[in-house]
Structure 1
Amino acid sequence: MISRLRTNRRTTLAGLVICVLVGGLELKTATAQDRSAVSAAKFTIQPARLEPYERTPLFAKIQGYVLKTRQASTDGSNTKQIALTDIGDEVAEGEVLAEIDVPEMLEELMQKEALAEQAAAELLQSTAAVTVAEKTMQAAKARIAESEAGVVRARGEYERWKAEHERIRDLAEKGSVTGKLVDETLNQLRSAEAGRDETQAHVLAVEADLAEAEAKVAKAKTDEAVARVRVKVAETEVRRLEALLGYARIRSPYAGIISQRNIDTGHFVQPGTGSQPPLFVVERIDTLRVAVDVPERDAVRIQVGSTAWIQVPAFGEEEFKAKVSRTSWVLDPASRTLRVEIDLSNPDRLFRPGMYAKARIQLSVPLAKAETQSR
């Protein structure tokens, strides 16, 4: 009896060894032959949720009272006033959702525009002053040229009478002419000398006028530069007020749908803070994000571009094929899950944000395992 048990035990152990060896050989062979096919047949199925592609809360930038109506168009082509936007309304990019009444800001804008016009007029006046000063300077330069020519002429006259006086004096010493003629030439010489000195003094005076004209030109140009700066400051103030007035119209940042409205006609709104609810919430729904939290065991096998099938229980068992658009790559330390997003086209508004869904995502071979198997 004992020998029979020993024989059966040996037979069983031998069979187990053979099975293990054969099984290991068969597993190696299958893995080496078609490893990718085995991994491609694996999926992860996880609950998912539909989220808007973009969701934007809109706050007020300035304070004022909400008007009863808003413009019907964004480009001014239709001046008709229509009611405030409400939840469920589809809006276009840039469409006015509500308007805030800011009369004091409009008055301030008118004042800034008047100051800008005044600065522009002062600039024109300064430019004209520069032109006048430059003309005066040019006239002074012309007078200098004229005076210098007179100096040359006066010097020539002086030299002529000087030579004539010396000649007549020599003749008078020889008795060829009378002393009266000597006196006459002397008087002419003195007159020419005075004329020469006068023209030289005139040149100095005109040069002083030119220096004054040049100083006036420099001052006029400085005044013009200051006037230009004043114009820029005034125009900047106008643009600043216009920009602030632009915030009086609450506009949609993109085409979407209004999911929240927290204001009514006559509400007093102030610049938004985190403690206040937004005036509106706009959600983009032409494309939705399917958000999936993939567990850690499958996270390393999720790749951007992996095929996915989305099932929305509201539409029965039908699956919608898509691809993984992006992942957070980093796992959530609290849940140890990877956020995976799948873009789902929604041109017909079939799907709605907040809907429950189920995602079946094709898994790939982990990078570390693929490298090990390739060796």
Structure 2
Amino acid sequence: MQLFLSSSSRANRVVFGLLSACIPFPALGQAPVPVRVVSVQTAETIQTTVQPATVMPYFSVEIHPRVSGYLKSIAVDIGDKVAEGDRLAEVAVPELERRAEVMQAEIDQRQAKQTQAMAGIELAQANVDAAEARIREAKSKQVAVEASVAAAQAEHDRTDDLVNRQSIQARLLDEARMRLDSQKAARSAADSSVVAAQADVQVAKAKLAQAEADLNAAKAETRVAEAELQELRVMIDYAVLKAPFDGVVSQRLANLGDLVGASAQSQNALFLVNQVSRVRIHTFVPEREAAGVDRGDALVCSFPAFPNETISATVTRTSGRIDEATRTMLVEAEWENADGKLIPGMFGQATIELSVHANAKTLPASSLRFSADGQPYVYRIDADGIVSRADVKIGDDDGSTIEVMEGLDINDQVIDAHLQRFVDGQQVVVIN
């Protein structure tokens, strides 16, 4: 046997108990009072809580423009289904488009400077190569002149020796000396040519470095301009508003030609798009029962729009906190809504399974009474029909069946609903 017990009020039974308390006790020795009895039974009880529920879109997004301008076109209206990336509207941004054209022209100009700088590098490299060739030529001449100087020196020394031995005329020594001096002069000229060529190489390399620096600067300027152009193009792309996900346009908040601005404030939204292929069911559980709600708990929801149908889901998540104003905790369940049957905003009733008690002791709620101070008790009857009051501790209660936690055993018999009060030891007669 399985019983579903909810957290409904026990007010009716309290009133009944108080009414019965007003009836005087019967005098002992009177004829036994006829009563009906019920027995303590075992059953599986399921504690539930029933709370109002609301259907919410899985995602709900206000669409705001990222750029300012006049609304150029509107592609959708209220109720239209959209897919992710679909065009919703477009904002006219002629100023951004003009700035993009100017920036593109500046990029073209900087790229031309890059080409010019590359040509300058090639020219500077050619000058370096030419200067290095002149060094090699000057050094070759330097070597040849050194050889000539050595030959002239040798001839001069030999002539000087012959003149000293008076083997030849003295004027031949003068001629040899003149040739030696001429070759030494040529050597000095060759050395100067090498130095000059080396200086030309340094100048050419400096010009090459300058040309390379000019090229790097031109490339850097081009990259900066390209980044600025890319940023402009991103802003121009923002002028086209697109759907962030598959959903339905629930609100259109602007008209063609409206001047719109870049703002995240709600009053500046152009559209409200809801994802309804999957929805969330929100319900708020009172503080006294919130601790019993866990992820995965069964949740059954009914809606006035579908009086003969229920939706079975599970608790997907909870807020994990009690709202200080309402003393309730948000509980959420997800539902695949491909057919669009559930509409965001629908109101219903959610029944959440809190706990299951196997082999619980149960009694009909009609057998329960309450003392003046609100304590529950029953009238237990033994095999001889003798009454004794038994205080009980009750658990789950669905209004028709109660769970007996303490005070009774299985198969104990207790008096069912009866207006009369009884006293311990009183004799009754069971009629059922």
TM-score by length of 1: 0.80
Q: Could you tell me which of 31, 49, 56 is aligned with 2:54? A: 49
**Equivalent in the alignment of 2:123:** 132
The answer (yes or no) to whether the contact 2:261–2:268 under 8 Å persists in 1 is no
CA deviations over 1:162-206 (Å, ceiling 9, x no partner): 121011111111122222322222222111101110111011111
- Structure 1 residues 251 and 89: CA distance shift in structure 2, 3 A: same
What's the offset of the Cα at 1:95?
A: 1.1
Q: Which runs of 5+ in 1 are unaligned?
A: 1-7, 9-25, 70-83, 366-375
The answer (yes or no) to whether the contact 2:82–2:246 under 8 Å persists in 1 is yes
What's the offset of the Cα at 1:252?
A: 1.1
Q: Does 1:261 align with 2:252?
A: yes
The answer (yes or no) to whether the contact 1:299–1:337 under 8 Å persists in 2 is yes
Q: Return 304-313 or 327-336, whichever deviates more.
A: 304-313
Q: Could you tell me which of 152, 164, 171 is aligned with 1:173? A: 164
What's the offset of the Cα at 1:150?
A: 2.0
**Equivalent in the alignment of 1:292:** 283
The answer (yes or no) to whether the contact 2:315–2:331 under 8 Å persists in 1 is yes
What's the offset of the Cα at 1:290?
A: 0.5
Q: Does 1:324 align with 2:315?
A: yes
Using the aligned pairs only, state the percent identity: 35
Structure having the higher strand fraction is 2
Q: Does 1:92 align with 2:83?
A: yes
Q: Which runs of 5+ in 2 are unaligned?
A: 1-27, 29-39, 357-432
The answer (yes or no) to whether the contact 2:86–2:243 under 8 Å persists in 1 is yes
Q: Give the match's secondary structure for 2:248.
A: strand
Distance (whole Å) between structure 2 residues aligned to residue 154 and residue 42 of structure 1: 117
**Equivalent in the alignment of 2:403:** none
The answer (yes or no) to whether the contact 1:151–1:196 under 8 Å persists in 2 is yes
The answer (yes or no) to whether the contact 2:73–2:91 under 8 Å persists in 1 is no
Distance (whole Å) between structure 1 residues aligned to residue 315 and residue 351 of structure 2: 11
Q: Could you tell me which of 135, 141, 154 is aligned with 1:150? A: 141
CA deviations over 1:64-105 (Å, ceiling 9, x no partner): 111245xxxxxxxxxxxxxx3110001111111111112222
The answer (yes or no) to whether the contact 1:43–1:363 under 8 Å persists in 2 is yes
Distance (whole Å) between structure 2 residues aligned to residue 146 and residue 122 of structure 1: 36
Q: Give the match's secondary structure for 2:84.
A: coil
Q: Give the match's secondary structure for 2:267.
A: coil
Structure having the higher helix fraction is 1
Q: Give the match's secondary structure for 1:318.
A: strand
Count of residues in Structure 1 that have an aligned counterpart in Structure 2: 318
Q: Does 1:301 align with 2:286?
A: no
**Equivalent in the alignment of 1:13:** none
What's the offset of the Cα at 1:364?
A: 4.3
Larger Rg: 2
Q: Give the match's secondary structure for 1:276.
A: helix
Distance (whole Å) between structure 2 residues aligned to residue 364 and residue 115 of structure 1: 72
TM-score by length of 2: 0.70
Distance (whole Å) between structure 1 residues aligned to residue 201 and residue 214 of structure 2: 20
Q: Return 179-188 or 163-172, whichever deviates more.
A: 179-188
Q: Give the match's secondary structure for 1:317.
A: strand
Q: CA RMSD in A?
A: 2.0
Equivalent runs, 1:25-44 vs 2, <5 Å: 41-44=46-49
Equivalent runs, 1:177-326 vs 2, <5 Å: 177-274=168-265, 276-326=267-317
**Equivalent in the alignment of 1:353:** 344
**Equivalent in the alignment of 2:327:** 336
